[in-house]
Amino acid sequence: MSRSFAELLPTPLTAESLARLQPLHRAEDLLLLLERWVERGWLRALDKAFVAFLHERDPHGDPLVLLAAALTSHQLGHGHVCLDLFETLKEPDFALSLPPEGDVQTGAMLLPSQLLEALDGDAWCKALQASPLVEHAGQSLADAASRPLVLSDRRLYLRRYWAYERRIDSALRQRLAATQVTSADLPARLDSLFGSPAANAPIDWQKLACALATRGAFSIVTGGPGTGKTTTVVRLLALLQAPAVEAGTPLRIRLAAPTGKAAARLTESISLQVKSLEVDDKVRQKIPSDVTTVHRLLGSRPGTRHFRHHAGNRLPLDVLVVDEASMIDLEMMANLLDALPAHARLVLLGDKDQLASVEAGAVLGDLCRDAEAGWYTPQTREWLEHVSGESLAASELQQDLDGSHPLAQQVVMLRHSRRFGEGSGIGQLSRLVNRQQSDAARALLAAGSHADLFALSLKGEQDRAFERLALEGRGAQAKGYRHYLEVLREQRPAAEAGLEDPCWGAWAGKVLEAFEAFQVLCAVRKGPWGVEGLNERITRALFGHKLIDSDQHWYEGRPVLMTRNDYGLGLMNGDIGIALKLPERDGLTPKYVLRVAFARNDGQGGIRFVLPSRLNDVETVYAMTVHKSQGSEFSHTALVLPEALNPVLTKELIYTGITRAKHWFSLVEPRAGVFEEAVQRKVKRLSGLMLGLK
C-alpha cells in the first residue's frame, strides 16, 4: 500500500498540498522535502542552503541536479570527497545521516530509497551533464571555472574538492618522478643503525623503510600499533642528517602532526628515541624532537582558510615528517604539498587501517591501498636487497612487472608488532576485525581464552553491569575509574606541605597516570550510549558510590578534555587534565582551591596547573569518541557500541577502538549483532585520488 506525503512528513501539512508534491520534477517541492529532512536531522542546514543557492543560479534547472548537489554536500560531512551516483542508487539511505544521533522522533518519513527507487544512473548522469551548474571533467568550457559542481565519469564533486584532488595528484606525480641522490656508503650506514641481517631472521621492514625513503622526494611508512614507526623515523632522520652534517650543510628538518595532542605525544616519544640513538653527538644535535601542528607549521590565518606558507611562499625546510597522517584531510594535504619546496623530502607516517580524518578525504588510506601487497618492481626489489642486505624472496609480495604502480615504490608497510604478539588476544582480535572476519572475531570474544579480552552484553539501558565495569574494571589489574580516585585520595601529600613543595606535582602526575589506566570509548556523541549520555551516567555512579563529592560542574577528580588548542596556556586539543585540590594560604589560615593538572607532554616531564576559570574549551571525559582517542593509548579500554547501526560504525572505528588498548580490551554491547554488522562495513570514502596513482 502506498503512503501519502501527509503520512510521511513529520511536519503537519494538509493532505491536499502534500498529495501534489513532485520532488523529482518540481524544484520547489524538492526544497520543501529537504527542509523536512533538515528538521529531522537527516540533512544539514548547510546542505539545504547550498541547494537554495544553486536554485537561485538556475531557477528552471532539473531537480535531479539539486538533489545530487544536496547529497554531495551532505556526504562531505561524512568524509566523502564526492558522490558516486551509481553506488548511491544501490543504497540511497546511506547518503543521509540515517539514523541521526539522538533521533527520538517516531513515525514514517520519506526516505531517499523511496524517492530514488525508479531512478536510473545513466539518466541521472545525463541530467547533470546537461546542467549549466555542472562542469563535465575533460571538457573545456569557457565558463567552467564558475560552475560550482564537477562531474567526473560517475562521481560528482563540489568544485573546491575537485581542485584539491587535482592539486594533490599533480604534486605527487612530480615528486614520484623526482629522484634523490643516495650516498655511496648507504649500505654501511644502514647496518650501523640496524645491524647486519642475521641468518633466517625475519625481514627488517624498518630498515627497508629507511632505505626507500632516502631515494625519493615522497615516501610513506605505514604500520599498526607497536610496529615501530617512531623508531623508524628517528633512524631515518639520522640516516639523512649524518652525511649532511659531515659535509657541513645540515638539513633543515621539521616534524609535524595533525593535532596538538598527536604533536605532544610524538615530541615525548622522539625525545626519548633521539637520546638513545647511537650516532655522533653532532648528528644527534641536528635531529629535532620538537613537533608542531600542521596548522602552526603552515601559519594559519585566523578566520580564513588561508595560510602564510603556500605555493608563493614555500616552507623553509629540507625534510618534513608528518606523523598520524591518517588524520590529514584532503584540503590540508593539498595545502601542505603546495607549501613544500620542490627539493624537500616529505615522509608520511601513520596506520592506514585507522579511522580517517574527521574532514573530507582519506588521503593516507587512498595512498596506502596497495601497501600490504607491496607491488615493487624488480628494479626496486633488487635495489632494496642490495642496500639493506635483506632478502625479499620469502616476502610473498606482489611484483609490479609493467610499471603500473609508481606510488608503491615509495611505500613500506611495517608488519611486526612488538606490542601485540601472536599470543595477544587484542592483537588477534584487531587482525580479525581488520580482515572483516566478524564470525571469527565473535568466536574469539566468546571463547574467553584470552585474559586481555572481555565482552559484556547488556540487558537494557538500566543494566548496572556497565557501571560495575566503569568503576571496578575487570579484576585487580584491568582497572576501572575507582583506581585513579583511590590514588587521588590515598596518596595526597600532607596538608602542611606548601604548594611550592614538589610533592604536589609528583602526586598530580601519579593521579594522571592512574587515570590513563582506563578509558571508555564511544562511537557516537549523542544518545544513551554516546559520549554525552555516558559521561553523565558515570558521573552519577561515582557520586553515588561517594568516590567524588559532587556531580555538578567543577569538583575534585573531574577529568576534562581540551576541545581546542590554547597556545596561551600551552594546552592542545585532546589534552586531558584532572581537577585537584591544592593548598593556598589566605593569611595564616590554609585552604584548598581547585586547579586542573595537565602533563606537559614535551619530553621533559612535569605538571602544569591551571585555574578552572581559565579553561573555556573543556568537557568531562570519562567517555570520549574513538575519533578523539586517536594518537592515545590506555592500559584498559572499554568500547561501547550504540544500540543501532550508525553511519560511523565501521570496521575502521572498531579496529581503532581495539588498538587504543595496551593490555586489556572490553567490548560493551547494549544490543547483539551491532558488532558484527559494523565489522562487515568498511569506510568507503569516495575519491578519485588513486585513479592514476596506483
CA separation for the pair 606, 598 (Å, rounded) = 9
Q: How many CB atoms lie within 10 A of CB 538?
A: 21
Grid look-up 549520555 returns 533
Q: Judge residue 81's burial from the number of C-beta atoms within 10 Å of its C-beta, 0-12 exposed, 13-18 middle, 19 or more buried.
A: buried
Specify the pTM: 0.78
User: What is the pLDDT of the chain when averaged over all its residues?
Assistant: 84
How far lies 329's CA from each of 36, 146, 332, in Å? 31, 25, 6
Enumerate the H helices of 78-181 as residue ranges.
85-90, 112-116, 121-129, 159-177
Which DSSP state fits 101?
A: T
| pLDDT one-digit tens code per residue, 562-571 | 888 777 787 8
DSSP 3-state of 205: helix
| Residue 630 in this model has a pLDDT that exceeds 90 | no
CB 102 within 8 A of CB 40: no
DSSP 3-state of 177: helix
CB 500 within 8 A of CB 588: no
Cell of 681: 562495513
| pLDDT one-digit tens code per residue, 473-495 | 887 788 899 999 999 999 988 87
Q: Which amino acid is at 323?
A: D
| pLDDT one-digit tens code per residue, 109-128 | 567 777 777 788 888 999 99
CA separation for the pair 652, 682 (Å, rounded) = 7
How far lies 352's CA from each of 349, 394, 683, in Å? 9, 24, 12
Sign of torsion over alpha carbons 285, 287, 289, 295: positive
Q: Considering only CA atoms, which of 359, 297, 295, 296 is closest in space to residue 326? A: 359
Q: Considering only CA atoms, which of 643, 418, 653, 668 is closest in space to residue 519? A: 668
How many Å is the Cα radius of gyration of the chain? Answer: 27
Q: How many residues does the chain have?
A: 694
Cell of 603: 619530553
Cell of 620: 568531562
What confidence category does residue 689 fall into, taking pLDDT thresholds of 50, 70 and 90?
low
| pLDDT one-digit tens code per residue, 519-564 | 999 988 888 899 999 999 999 999 999 998 887 889 999 999 988 8
**Residue bearing the bigger pLDDT, 265 or 676:** 676
Enumerate the H helices of 552-661 as residue ranges.
626-629, 651-658
| pLDDT one-digit tens code per residue, 268-280 | 888 888 888 888 8
Q: Judge residue 526's burial from the number of C-beta atoms within 10 Å of its C-beta, 0-12 exposed, 13-18 middle, 19 or more buried.
A: middle
